[in-house]
């Protein structure tokens, strides 16, 4: 298959647009250059997205003249949002028998409230509700006279709703549907193909985007996943569903590869875990504010060795005796 015919996933578009905006705004530091290189080498789709970004001049020849003129003729006054919007649109081009345009998900890049990798942020909303963003998350708020709406574009949030004197519904919108909080405390995570909901207190009504009539109320102590057409049967709330709110990862005989997948959400760079570690498991409680310390502890307490190619690129393998 030609690389030009590969459709780049939305989450990769978001990431490359963030890098492009960073490069456009300022020269990258040495550390940022190393992180970008690690990101490009982590996945072939990352490198493909970057190559398309570097070849925007060629891509522009396929775009209608008015749009091409807007991008090529970007003035010094064009703001960051507009620049990111055009870049996002260019990267969604899929030239199969002509040019196809589709909706470009640059909202996460442009969101009003967001966190960087490893950062958490707590916000008191105007109605008294509490909103907490986990690592690498992005939301917009749309409060008006009829509703209180949080739009989750990326990452994970915790919400503790407050009573509203105007009795406006409290809603959370994800890519797959809408959640109606029924006076509650809950967490929501946006994945590429589905949304996750964990209810800590009270209840939340889940309405899939393409079939809202198939709604389901998830009760306290339950969790579920849903896509745009349906909702999984609820199951007991996982220990890690809200552990991040307290800055902790819990592991109970968790496969090392699964634990590392969770940990690397909180650390900039690339961490890989090869197949030799498939029979290694992790148990314990770990503070997520220092991922490097966690890696050091694992290397001391588990039969593994960590090869550091750079500060931002680590490979974990089973220790050879």
H or E element that contains 233: none
* pLDDT of 77 higher than 60: no
- Cβ proximity of 194 and 183 under 8 Å: no
Tell me the pLDDT of the chain averaged across its residues.
82
Three-point CA angle 201, 177, 179, nearest 5°: 20
* Close Cβ partners of 157 (under 8 Å, ≥ 6 residues apart): 131, 132, 133, 134, 137, 139, 150, 172, 187, 188, 189
% residues pLDDT > 90 (the chain) = 54
In this structure, what token pair is assigned to residue 62? 């396929």
Least confidently predicted of 64-68, 162-166, 234-238: 64-68
Say which residue the tokens 């006054």 belong to: 77
Choose among 11, 32, 227, 28: nearest CA to 136: 11
Fill in the DSSP letter of residue 237. Answer: P
Q: How confident is the model at residue 98 (pLDDT cuts 50, 70, 90)?
A: very low
How does pLDDT run across 130-147, given as a tens digit for each residue? 999 999 899 999 999 999
pLDDT class for 246, splitting at 50, 70, 90? very high
Q: Residue 76: its pLDDT value, please?
A: 40
pLDDT more than 70, % of the chain: 77
pLDDT of residue 309: 83
Burial of 151-190, coded b for 16+ CB within 10 Å and e otherwise, reads bbbbbbbbbbbeebeeeeebbbbbbbbbbbbbebbbbbbb
Q: Determine the Cα–Cα distance for residues 303 and 70; give it in Å rounded to an integer.
A: 56
Give the range among 6-20, 21-35, 91-105, 220-234 with minimum mean pLDDT. 91-105
- Categorize the per-residue pLDDT at 3 as very low, low, confident or very high, splitting at 50, 70 and 90: low
Average pLDDT over residues 265-286: 91
Above 60 in pLDDT, residue 96? Answer: no
118 in Cβ contact with 134 (< 8 Å): no
Q: Over the Cα atoms of the chain, what is R_g?
A: 21
Phi-psi region of 83 (alpha: psi -120 to 50; beta: other; left: phi over 0): alpha
Sketch out the chain's domains with CATH numbers: 3-110 (no CATH), 113-236 (2.60.120.1440), 247-318 (3.55.50.30)
* pLDDT tens track for 156-203: 999 999 999 889 999 999 999 999 999 899 999 999 899 999 999 999
Q: For 24-28, 34-38, 45-49, 287-291, which range has the lowest pLDDT when averaged over its residues?
A: 24-28
pLDDT greater than 50 at residue 75: no
pLDDT at 217: 97
**Residue 183 tokens, joined:** 């006076």
Average of per-residue pLDDT across 76-97: 49
Q: What is the pTM of this model?
A: 0.70
Q: What is the mean pLDDT of residues 50-72?
A: 49
Residue 61 has pLDDT above 80, yes or no: no
């Amino acid at each position: 298959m030609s690389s030009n015919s590969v459709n780049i996933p939305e989450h990769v578009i978001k990431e490359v647009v963030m890098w492009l905006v960073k490069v456009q705004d300022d020269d990258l530091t040495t550390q940022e250059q190393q992180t970008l290189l690690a990101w490009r080498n982590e996945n072939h789709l990352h490198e493909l997205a970057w190559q398309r970004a570097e070849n925007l001049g060629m891509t522009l020849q396929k775009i209608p003249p008015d749009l091409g003129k807007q991008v090529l003729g970007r003035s010094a006054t064009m703001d960051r949002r507009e620049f990111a919007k055009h870049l996002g649109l260019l990267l969604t081009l899929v030239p199969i028998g002509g040019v196809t345009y589709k909706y470009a998900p640059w909202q996460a890049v442009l969101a009003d409230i967001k966190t960087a990798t490893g950062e958490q942020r707590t916000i008191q909303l105007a109605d008294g509700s509490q909103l907490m963003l986990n690592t690498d998350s992005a939301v917009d708020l749309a409060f008006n006279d009829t509703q209180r709406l949080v739009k989750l574009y990326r990452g994970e949030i915790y919400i503790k709703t407050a009573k509203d004197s105007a009795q406006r519904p409290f809603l959370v919108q994800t890519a797959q549907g809408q959640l109606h909080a029924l006076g509650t405390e809950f967490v929501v995570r946006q994945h590429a193909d589905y949304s996750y909901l964990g209810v800590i207190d009270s209840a939340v009504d889940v309405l899939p985007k393409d079939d809202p009539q198939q709604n389901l109320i998830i009760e306290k102590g339950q969790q579920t996943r849903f896509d745009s057409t349906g909702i999984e049967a609820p199951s007991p709330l996982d220990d890690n569903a809200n552990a991040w709110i307290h800055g902790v990862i819990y592991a109970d005989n968790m496969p090392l590869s699964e634990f590392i997948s969770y940990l690397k959400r909180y650390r900039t760079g690339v961490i890989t875990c090869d197949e030799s570690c498939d029979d290694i498991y992790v148990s314990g409680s770990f503070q997520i504010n220092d991922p490097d310390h966690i890696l050091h502890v694992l290397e001391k307490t588990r039969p593994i060795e960590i090869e550091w190619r750079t500060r931002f690129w680590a490979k974990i393998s089973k220790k050879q005796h």
